[in-house]
A and B are shown apart, each in its own frame.
Chain A
Amino acid sequence: MSENKLSDDSKIIISRRSFLKGIVAGSGALMVSNGWGIFSMAYAGDKQYTMIIVDYNKCTGCRTCETACSAYNHKASVNGESINGLGNPYLSNIKVYQFNPDVDVPRVCAMCPDNPCIEACPVDPDPKGRRALYRHETTGAVTNDPDRCIGCGSCAEECRVGVITPNSETNMPERMCTLCDGDPQCVKLCPFNALTQVTVDTSRGMYAMRPEQIADALTKQWYSAE
């Protein structure tokens, strides 16, 4: 198994554990400096978004991330108490795509700083300046307001990664990453430490690419003749 040769940004692929350690050690600045991508001016102030990235050399396609996401974001009510659901992967916001030759590509919201999905939302902004689709105040996650959403599907059409999926009945957008209120469960439960929460950097390799494109690139890299 080769070292991470996927992109030259391996420096910033920091596992959650080392990220936390890094903060303690004061080296979290590395992350911050990488956050200032070309869209940094579009952040409206100094807001920085974070996202889940994948180390494709570590991912084995087991789909534990899907079950972790689903369990946290689709809670069950048990005796009036809201607890984690059973992890039905259909409801997951992160989805693993598998290809032949063997390549596994988890697909998850890229948290695009230029907000193509939100820009596409035709609903008039409320007094807070929010359209039906908006950035969550604390996490920055793309969030839908079902009371104002008209189910037009424009956001899904503009989604670069193909994450946003209109609900089969209401046509309202689903599958946007919530970052699990700041503690992404997929990152936490990946048995292979393949997922990491990082500051969005649009210059990062394979940023906002669709699973098929990523699979093509990985196939060339892993399975081309010597």
Chain B
Amino acid sequence: MKNAPHGYYGVILEVDLSTRKIRKMPVDHSDLANFIGGRGLGIKLLWNRLKDKPGLDPLSPDNPLMFMPGPLSGFPVPSSSRTCVVTKSPMTSPVNSKYQYASTLSYANMGGFFGPELRFAGYDGLVVTGKSDAPVYLYIDDDMVEIRDASKFWGLGTDQFDKDFIKELGDPRFRTCYIGPAGENLVRYASIINTAARAAGRGGVGCVMGSKKLKGIAVRGTGQPNVADHKLFLAALDEARAKLNDPSVYDHWRNGGTTAALERNSASGLQAVKNYREGTFTEAKKLGVESSKKYWVRSFSCYCCPLSCKKSGMTKGSPYAGLIHDGPEYETGTMLGANLMISDLPGVMKAIYLGDDYGMDIISLGNVIGFLMEAYDKKLIDKNFLDGIDLQWGSVDATLKMIHKIAARDGIGELASRGVKALAERIGQNSDKFAMHVKGHELAAHNCQANPPRALCYATSHRGACHLNGNDAEQQNMRTLADSAGLCFFAMYGYGTDGKLLGKILSGIIGQERAEDLAKTGERIYNLEQLFNCREGFTRADDVVPDRYFEEPLTIGDKKGAVMSRDKFKIMMDEHYAARGWNPDTTLPTQAKLEQLGLAEDGNRI
């Protein structure tokens, strides 16, 4: 598009599945300058679109599902493959709200190749609205965009669909993403999968996609945006490649990926074990890097990433032999392993494969099953409640049965498909004390007893419990910026957390002026997210972590005895809101803060 700002096309592709209208939508240049792209531009578009619709039902046609690459996407910047899927969450809810369907915003971040390809096709983002009557997929080949019938694919698992989809498209150079049966069936924590291995897992984005009857998206492109300062960009690119291609940066990722954290966090008492009751899994070694290496075949990378943290492999020598999948990663291996007291690695791999194949967020899935195991163990529920499944700690067989049920929303699976908050409300008997969620979104594989700042990270995250949110305002702002630029967290340490090199690269792409004060850009985005959630009715009463953390000290491991103090947590949160410039009760940004960030007008909406 003519006069596109540097680093962008200035164009969002918008597809309305109800009216089947497809159009190129120009993006306000000031929105690009102020919100960059990715998560930031996504929340800005969501805020604009839902201007008059607070409390919108997230599964209604009006909820936009947005695929947002960043300004780095489509350039050969190391580790810049990330794409944010932004929508209104079908999982979260506040303690009190005047809106029946009040929920937070949601974003899920995925690596791979999809985001860069969307940019090659000529778009800074894709917005899907409306709802189709019959299953469809979206075909994007540069300017040629079509809504196509996907009836024959409905019901397929993500692994098979990944293969069939490419056959249908006729060119393996198409990049695709899609939902599985869980998304089709509106499991609340359904994920969006790409390459049969990578997920926009969290926050229910696959459920929203399923509500639109959108099975998949295929994209192929030939273009690239212009940059502001070509020479500066090439120089910064050389610098980034030199930094990221240093063994001290990539070695541990290439060797073990996130799996290395399985044993490390267990030893430090930081792992989610036995539904978060403990921080150490005595059998962690069985799920660790050395054990996994027996099955791993190769490392594989996302677009232009020298870290290659993902490991593909095949299980051998067990009832679950011959299974080809990636993993276990830290999150998947912990949530369907340690958190369920399962140490049978091929069994864990089978559960991970099933979860991915059905297209469910493995974090929420493992959390839900862990909660049910504990409720069953404590005899708060019986076998009948579980449709006859003997859901004992450590049982692979029972876990697999439960996964099938949840994906199909069959019997107990219907309630379990709504998450731990819904389960605890139904089961009662103080089970909410160990229902490990914040705002209805399940905690991830990191435990808090021995690491209280993590509780702040979970409590304040805008999509409900999120381990990537950041433990303080500064970290949160920088991570928000990375999510908006399209950069992977894992590479941020290589780039340097001071943000200088990232700033240089962005200066080359979008221009010096716009790349100035990136931390402030991150802060602006974070504050707009806060406004969105406040308008829905979320307050400080929702920024809490489960009682377990204050009442049950760890009983094993190096951090035995660790437990959080309610007083200290309160002080930490008070300090955080003060540092943020937010009202400590309503958590609303103060007028001064909003003015400082150029959000005063947005604040008036509340």
How many of chain B's residues have a CB under 8 angstroms from any CB in A? 48
Given A1-B297, A1-B298, A89-B120, are A99 and B227 also a contact pair (CB < 8 Å)?
Answer: no
A102/B76 in contact, CB under 8 A: no
Instruction: Determine if A166 is an interface residue (Cβ-Cβ < 8 Å).
Output: no
B-contact 0/1 string along A95-106, CB 8 Å cutoff: 101111110100
Instruction: Determine if B395 is an interface residue (Cβ-Cβ < 8 Å).
Output: no
Instruction: Determine if A191 is an interface residue (Cβ-Cβ < 8 Å).
Output: yes
A64/B76 in contact, CB under 8 A: yes
Instruction: Determine if B296 is an interface residue (Cβ-Cβ < 8 Å).
Output: yes
B159/A62 in contact, CB under 8 A: no
CB-CB nearest in chain A for B255? A1
CB-CB nearest in chain A for B165? A100
Return A225 CB to nearest CB of chain B, in Å: 5
Which one of B180-188, B260-268, B321-329, B567-575 is at the interface? B321-329
CA distance A89 to B196 in the complex (A): 23
Instruction: Determine if B300 is an interface residue (Cβ-Cβ < 8 Å).
Output: yes
A76/B304 in contact, CB under 8 A: no
A223/B314 in contact, CB under 8 A: yes
Given A60-B301, A62-B302, A78-B230, are A88 and B120 also a contact pair (CB < 8 Å)?
Answer: yes
A-contact 0/1 string along B534-547, CB 8 Å cutoff: 00000000000000
Given A78-B230, A78-B231, A97-B173, are A87 and B76 also a contact pair (CB < 8 Å)?
Answer: yes
Which one of B101-109, B200-208, B305-313, B453-461 is at the interface? B305-313
A83/B234 in contact, CB under 8 A: yes
B-contact 0/1 string along A60-96, CB 8 Å cutoff: 1111100110010000101000011011111000010
B-contact 0/1 string along A108-149, CB 8 Å cutoff: 000000000000000000000000000000000000000000
Instruction: Determine if A161 is an interface residue (Cβ-Cβ < 8 Å).
Output: no
B297/A88 in contact, CB under 8 A: no
B230/A62 in contact, CB under 8 A: no
Task: Kindly list chain B residues whose C-beta atoms are within 8 Å of the C-beta of A225.
Answer: 316, 321-322
CA distance A226 to B313 in the complex (A): 13
Q: Which of B233, B244, B245, B298 has the most CB of A within 10 A?
A: B298
Task: Kindly list chain A residues whose C-beta atoms are within 8 Å of the C-beta of B300.
Answer: 60-61, 102, 104
Instruction: Determine if A36 is an interface residue (Cβ-Cβ < 8 Å).
Output: no
A88/B173 in contact, CB under 8 A: no
CB-CB nearest in chain A for B74? A88
Task: Kindly list chain B residues whose C-beta atoms are within 8 Å of the C-beta of A62.
Answer: 301-306, 308
Given A1-B298, A88-B224, are A102 and B197 also a contact pair (CB < 8 Å)?
Answer: yes
B233/A86 in contact, CB under 8 A: yes
Return B221 CB to nearest CB of chain A, in Å: 7
Task: Kindly list chain B residues whose C-beta atoms are within 8 Å of the C-beta of A191.
Answer: 78, 241, 244-245, 250, 306
Task: Kindly list chain A residues whose C-beta atoms are within 8 Å of the C-beta of B428.
Answer: none
Instruction: Determine if A48 is an interface residue (Cβ-Cβ < 8 Å).
Output: no
CB interface residues, B 221-256, toward A, < 8 Å: 221-224, 227, 230-231, 233-234, 241, 244-245, 250
A-contact 0/1 string along B269-306, CB 8 Å cutoff: 00000000000000000000000010011111111111
B221/A90 in contact, CB under 8 A: yes
Task: Kindly list chain B residues whose C-beta atoms are within 8 Å of the C-beta of A223.
Answer: 297, 314, 324
CB-CB nearest in chain A for B142? A90
A60/B159 in contact, CB under 8 A: no
CA distance A71 to B314 in the complex (A): 37
Task: Kindly list chain B residues whose C-beta atoms are within 8 Å of the C-beta of A64.
Answer: 76, 304, 306
Instruction: Determine if B178 is an interface residue (Cβ-Cβ < 8 Å).
Output: no
Instruction: Determine if A57 is an interface residue (Cβ-Cβ < 8 Å).
Output: yes
Given A60-B299, A61-B301, are A71 and B76 also a contact pair (CB < 8 Å)?
Answer: yes
Instruction: Determine if B170 is an interface residue (Cβ-Cβ < 8 Å).
Output: no
Instruction: Determine if B317 is an interface residue (Cβ-Cβ < 8 Å).
Output: yes
B301/A86 in contact, CB under 8 A: no
A90/B120 in contact, CB under 8 A: yes
CA distance A189 to B78 in the complex (A): 12
B227/A86 in contact, CB under 8 A: yes
Task: Kindly list chain B residues whose C-beta atoms are within 8 Å of the C-beta of A60.
Answer: 298-301, 308
CA distance A57 to B298 in the complex (A): 7
Task: Kindly list chain A residues whose C-beta atoms are within 8 Å of the C-beta of B233.
Answer: 86
Task: Kindly list chain B residues whose C-beta atoms are within 8 Å of the C-beta of A101.
Answer: 312, 324
Instruction: Determine if B195 is an interface residue (Cβ-Cβ < 8 Å).
Output: yes
Given A76, A102, A189, A226, which contacts B312 in the complex, CB threshold below 8 Å?
A102
Task: Kindly list chain B residues whose C-beta atoms are within 8 Å of the C-beta of A90.
Answer: 120, 221-223
CB interface residues, A 195-226, toward B, < 8 Å: 211, 222-223, 225-226
CA distance A97 to B317 in the complex (A): 31
Task: Kindly list chain B residues whose C-beta atoms are within 8 Å of the C-beta of A1.
Answer: 293, 296-299
CB-CB nearest in chain B for A64? B304
CB-CB nearest in chain A for B325? A101
Instruction: Determine if B496 is an interface residue (Cβ-Cβ < 8 Å).
Output: no
Task: Kindly list chain A residues whose C-beta atoms are within 8 Å of the C-beta of B250.
Answer: 191
Given A97-B172, A97-B173, A100-B159, are A87 and B75 also a contact pair (CB < 8 Å)?
Answer: yes
Instruction: Determine if A192 is an interface residue (Cβ-Cβ < 8 Å).
Output: yes
Task: Kindly list chain B residues whose C-beta atoms are within 8 Å of the C-beta of A211.
Answer: 172
Return A161 CB to nearest CB of chain B, in Å: 15
Instruction: Determine if B162 is an interface residue (Cβ-Cβ < 8 Å).
Output: yes
CB-CB nearest in chain A for B75? A86
Task: Kindly list chain A residues whose C-beta atoms are within 8 Å of the C-beta of B324.
Answer: 101, 223
Given B244, B298, B316, which contacts A222 in the complex, CB threshold below 8 Å?
B298
Leading 10 A-B pairs by shortest Cβ distance: A67-B76, A191-B306, A62-B301, A102-B312, A60-B301, A60-B308, A87-B76, A88-B224, A90-B222, A101-B324
Please name 10 pairs of A and B residues whose Cβ atoms are closer than 8 Å in the assembled complex, sorted by A.
Answer: A1-B296, A60-B300, A62-B305, A83-B234, A86-B227, A86-B230, A100-B166, A191-B306, A211-B172, A225-B316
20 new A-B pairs (CB below 8 Å) besides A61-B300, A62-B305, A86-B227? A1-B297, A1-B299, A57-B298, A64-B76, A71-B76, A83-B230, A83-B231, A86-B224, A87-B76, A88-B222, A89-B120, A90-B221, A97-B172, A98-B195, A101-B324, A102-B300, A104-B300, A191-B306, A211-B172, A225-B322
